[in-house]
A = this chain, B = another copy of it.
């Protein structure tokens, strides 16, 4: 009996095969019969955004989201201006790639000032929204696991991401629910329900026991202890029926052939996502 959703919903988040270039990842998707991809900007930049769009669409793929904008907190106005410029470019790249969703990884605090970081994140999103609206791009705030606060994001709960998103129009700013980042949260199901139509993306991976690397130690679905079926059911009850991105950031996997990893992604998705 198959537990997971249909492969047509699988989007390969490119970091899962970071060893591959964007053209290589596109080819790997084609060989595996996948139809959706979620590129990262550093891979897009290697070929240029216009060529990236040609390659993706020429292969019959569509883009579920672009990863990523964000990293709003900065120690000074020059840093904030640089972040703003980079985020506007990210919006433009998302539009050029034909996706309506830009993922925001909001950035860590400067020093010890977590509250200040959260205020800078709100202000940064406020400045970005008009540009995103002009380009038909939605901003999707992704809360990360609290263990990543100092490297990646001061936004570490879905509740906080919802609080931020609700300051804006529901079709402009929403959230990404990444099971790996939020599975521990006692308020998870309530916050998923609250997010509702603001769920702009759903990501999966698994939590290995033990987890030996905080940033690059994720497991394939079914290898760990996250109750992925329960979380997917909650996300679907909230109304989300879009692509499910497989984002398995695992250093060991990057040392192996990309096609092997993609085959494992497909099998794990069908069995356990």
Contacts and interface: CB of A to CB of B under 8 A. Distances in A.
A79 interface: no
B118 A225 contact: no
Chain A interface size range? 20 to 34
Interface in A192-222: 207, 209-211, 214
Counting chain B CB atoms within 10 Å of each CB, the highest count among A111, A146, A183, A209 belongs to A146
A38 to B, nearest CB: 25
A217 to B, nearest CB: 10
B184 A227 contact: no
A24 interface: no
Counting chain B CB atoms within 10 Å of each CB, the highest count among A186, A209, A211 belongs to A186
- How many copies of this chain sit in the oligomeric assembly? 2
Contacts of A150: 207, 209-211, 225
A251 B5 CA distance: 44
Contact of A225 (B109, B146, B159, B160): B109
Interface in A88-109: 109
A262 interface: no
A21 B254 CA distance: 44
A-side binding surface: helix, strand, loop or mixed?
Answer: loop
Contact of A184 (B114, B211, B214, B226): B114
B186 A118 contact: yes
A72 to B, nearest CB: 16
A141 interface: no
Contact of A149 (B151, B159, B160, B184): B184
A205 to B, nearest CB: 14
Given A145-B146, A145-B147, A225-B150, A186 B113 contact: no
Nearest to A112: B227
A145 B145 CA distance: 10
B114 A227 contact: yes
Contacts of A149: 184
Q: Which 8 A-B pairs have the closest CB atoms?
A: A147-B147, A146-B184, A112-B227, A150-B209, A160-B186, A149-B184, A112-B225, A146-B146
10 contacts: A111-B225, A112-B227, A113-B227, A118-B186, A145-B147, A150-B209, A156-B184, A210-B214, A211-B214, A214-B214
Given A118-B186, A156-B185, A159-B187, 10 more contacts: A109-B225, A145-B147, A146-B147, A150-B210, A150-B225, A151-B210, A156-B186, A157-B186, A163-B186, A214-B214
Interface of A: 109, 111-114, 118, 145-147, 149-151, 156-157, 159-160, 163, 183-187, 207, 209-211, 214, 225-227
